Every structure is written in structure tokens, then in C-alpha cells.
Structure 1
Amino acid sequence: MVRPLGLAIVLLAVAAGGAVVVHDMKSEERFAPIRARLVSMLPLRITDIQISGRVLTNEDSLREALGVRVGDPVLGFSVEGARERIDALPFVDHSVVERHLPGTIVVRLTERSPFAVWQNQGRFMLIDRAGNQVRDQGMTGKDAQAFIQLPLVVGLGANTAAASLVDALATQPVVRDHVAAAVRVGLRRWNLTLHDGTTVLLPEGEDLPALKRLAELQAAMKLLDRPVISIDLRLPDRMVVEQPPPAAPAPEGQPAANPQSPANPGASKPTAAHDGPQGAAPPRPAPKAPPNAPPAEERASTHPPTAGPHVPPPTPPAAIPPFPSGQAQPRKALPPPVPNLPPNGEPEARRRT
């Protein structure tokens, strides 16, 4: 009885194994085309990278953190590693990175809310578009980099008016790249401080037209690259540019330029009169005698020289001795007054007698 029962069990096991083998062979035949298609698609390449939610994050920094580009193998892309690198970027709160076969990479960013840096009464604060202070923002790590990259607005009321100015600057990148800070003036208008220290005075409520006009001037004459103190654009029909003062003259102690120095190569050399002893002039040549004149000895004997009248040399004025300091010089006595004479020239008293 035992032997027939064991034989039956063995036969049942063999039959079941055969059924499994037949089923597996049918499954392999069914999935063979799919497996062949997958094999034909290897190696898969990245054909598209989709990024959404990026506003403040730098695009080049984001693509560098992603670590791949179009044409790289899609199966060699590490989703987890890319997500960790992207989350470490400034302004990124968190990110979602997905891989969609056959060749698409999807990145969705959720950025932090800082929009600008507001300086007021010596304090620096991160603010959002509405001008409200962003909480839990420090000056270490990613937050320190955010402070450097965000626009800086200064002054009372600058936080609530920053959004419109930043949007206007975004339309004129040529001007925006020169701006270091924007100072709010009287709760009414803006002064732009450029990186070289130049101040640009914008009109009240006309930020966008003034910035467009400034961009045109930069394209035409490179105004923002010139050494000026201020550019006043408050008047719509004119522009006032303040230039730096001229260079100061040389100090009094500085020696004058030497005429013989290399700075004056055309200066002439001193004449022989300057080279003689004590600056004496050279002797003048004797005048030539007429052609038919007798010799000098005969002229001297025939016409002896006549002595002219003796003119005594002028007498120098006598020196006036100085008076001791502190003593007044005595005044000379004036002569008595001269009486007035009548027309006939005789005194009136003599005429009576």
C-alpha cells in the first residue's frame, strides 16, 4: 500500500513541474518583443531637461548642480545626488527631481521668499515683494550668499517701494548691472548709486521711462562708464551731468620746469656771453674805415682829439639813518605862510606908506 502511494505523489510532482515549465515558456514568448525593444533602446540618452519654479536661482548654477546635460546617458543620472546639490543652492527651499524614460529629466523648484535686502538705520534685513521682513534669515551659509546677490534698497520706505523699482531695472539689464544700491529719497523717488560711486537722480513716479532713457544714453555714449559725479534725470526735457573738479595746481614748493630738461627739447643753448667769466659780453669788433681813408696814425696826427666838457658824476643821495624802533620820526617845521601880493607886486602895507 505504501509503495503505490509514494509513486503517485512522485508522478503528481512531475506533472506539476511540467505545467510550470510550459507556463514559463509561454510567458517568455509573450514578453520577448518587449525585452527586445528595451534592448534596442539601450543606451538611452537625455533628450529634454524641464525646469520650473526658477525665479531667483541662477540658471547656470542650477544646471551645474543638476550634473547632466542633453546627450548624456539617462540611466547614469543620479536623481538623489542631483536633488541634494540643488537643495544646497541659495534661494532654494526644496526641489523635486524626476527621471522619465526614455530621456526626460524634470526639475521643480520651490524657492525661498527673499526678494531684496533692505538697509534701514544701520540694519540689513531680507524682505519679500510686499516689503515684509523674511523670518529665520541669518548671515551664514546660503543666507549670506543671498544677501550678496539680492538688490539693496536703502532708507525709510524703501522696503515697500522696492518691487516696482526692481521690476523696472529688470527691463534694462544694461543699467541694472551698474547699480550697487537704490536710496529712497523723501518717500517719493529714488537715487541710484552705481558701482563706481556715481549717483543717478531718478524723477518721481517715472522710474521706467528714466531708466529706458539712461540705457539709450549708455548705448550711444557710454555715459555710465565715464568719470562723473552725478547724472540728474529729474527733468524730462534735459539732463544735468556733474563732472569732477579740475586737477589742483602744483604746490608752491615744487621747483619750476628746467628749460634744459627733456620736457623742453627745443630750448636753445646759452650763448658765449653766458659762458664767459662773470657773464661778461665778448668785445665788439672795431668799425671799418672808408676805402680812401688815411692810416690810423695819420688821422690821429691830423685831427687831434678834442676834449669835451667835464661832466661830474652824479652824487648819490645821502643815506637816511634809521630811527630806533618804538620812536616816532620828528616832523620838520613848516615855513611861515607867504602873504598874498596885489596885482602890482607890492605888499599892501608898503603901498599905504
Structure 2
Amino acid sequence: MARSSARARPEDRTRLASDGGRPSRAALQRPSGLRLWLRRKKPWLRPVLFGMAGLALVGGGAVTVAAIQPAGPFSWLAQSVAEAAADAGLTVGEIVVRGQQNTPKELIRAAIGVGRGDPLLSFSPSQVKERLESIAWIEQAEVQRHLSGNIVIEIHERKPFAIWQHQGDFAVVDREGRVVSADTLDAFGPLPLLVGDGADKRGAALYDLVRQQPELQQRVQALVLISERRWNLRLYNGIDVLLPEGHEAAAIHRLAELQKTAALLDRPVQTIDMRLPDRLVVRQQPGAEPPAPEHGRKTRGSSRG
């Protein structure tokens, strides 16, 4: 009998709704004890937070604030702490952004999302880092939030490598082929021209081979990928050089040697077909005359005299 009297009576238990034992709507909307305590103690928390911030600044200088994420089931708790800290003087001061060259400033401001005077603890370095790195120009971002109120952001931008022509459109890409800009193409100086599907991602390797031959590089206008398989070199004088698939390095070296010994690229030719390893096929421009024979050398059909 003593044991049964010690049990909690049904009316003393928390009343549950009839749908599977879940708390009723009124119980969910009622503030929890911790939340009510924070509301009542908010004036008392202000000097405590301010004192903790002061001690951290004195002891650690530019100690980074521990991250408090405002999202999740306890967002109200984080927001209450952030507001109390802001009332105590923990607000955003100076925002320093380093490394910005080509990234539009308005995109950076939108990704940061706070300004001077906003609650410092409402600023999430991890979320801002994620938003910054979603911008096409930015490869990596480092975000720091300090107890002094300063926010320091270091961004590392992708470097413009080439202009990619694809289905009539032009865009600036980096070496990995990621599009970083489709506007102001002339703002980045002379860049290699890549043409064709897949040329944006595969063009850097071929460009490095061409760059090893300065005499050839200055003549190349575009690197054209044919059927996503092999490359053509389009020269400024209109010559198309057909490179063999998978053997571009040897063909480019051979072409550079032919230019040195025979000035092949200065002749009135239309195409230079190097796709076969044992032969070189040269097609002249329509109406072009064959080069005159050297003085003193006999050619087929000349008189023997």
C-alpha cells in the first residue's frame, strides 16, 4: 500500500493529446523554463557578457569568438544571447575584405549579410564562407570574427585563363574550365581563345604545349577542339593545323622545327595535316603559285642545256 501511494497520480502528470501521446498545442506554445529565465535575467546577463568579452580581449588580444549558429531548434536561444551581447556592446565594427579584384563588390556584401552595429554573435563565419565560395569568381574564402567587433575576410579568386567560344557565346574561364565571367571580356587583357565543346576543360594542357614554342605561340589565334576528340590550331593568317589525336606534343615540336628550317607557316597554304605520323599533307590556298625554285637548282621539266 505504501508503494502504491508513492506513485504519481494521473492528474499530476503532464496532459497529453490523444494523437499518439504528443504534447498539446498549448503545451508547445508555452515558453520553457530556460527561455523565461533568460527573459527575466537579460538585464543581468548584459554586464556579465560585457565583462567576459573584456577579459577575453585583455587576455587574448584578437581571440576569435566561438561560433554560435543561429539556425536549428535552439535558434531562439542563440538569438537571445546575441541580442543580450549586442546590448552589452558586442556589435559588428569594421569589416575588412582582402583579395578582391574581379569579384563584384555587391555580391560580396550580399554574402556577408551584416553591417556595422549589427549583433556580432548573429554573424556566422561558416555560413558566410559557404556563401562566398558559391560565387563563381571565388575559389576559397577565409572568414574570421573577433571579439573586438572586427570581421576579417580573405578571399582567393580564380584567375582568368582563356575565352571560351561555345555555341556562339563567349565566356571567361579559369584553367579548370569554370566560367567566371560572361561580361566585360576585354577587361582581362589578351587571353587564349578556346573553341568547341569540352575545350574549356581541356584547353590548358594544349596551351602549355604551344607556349613552349614562342615562335608558334605568337601565330596561334585559337585552339579548336574537333568533336571533343582532337585539336586544330587556327593561325592568324588563316592556316589550319590538324593535330593528331593523343600525339599533340610531338606534332607541335615538329611544326616548330619546320617553321625554323623551311618557314612553312609563312607560305600561302590553307591547311597543314599532321594527323598521320609518317607524312605531312600541305594544301595550298586556291590560286596560289608554288614557290619559285632556288637559283642554280634543276627542277623536273627544265632544260638540261
- Report the TM range for the smaller structure's normalisation: 0.3 to 0.5
Larger Rg: 1
TM-score (norm. length: structure 2): 0.42
Higher RCO (CA 8 Å, separation ≥ 6 residues): 2
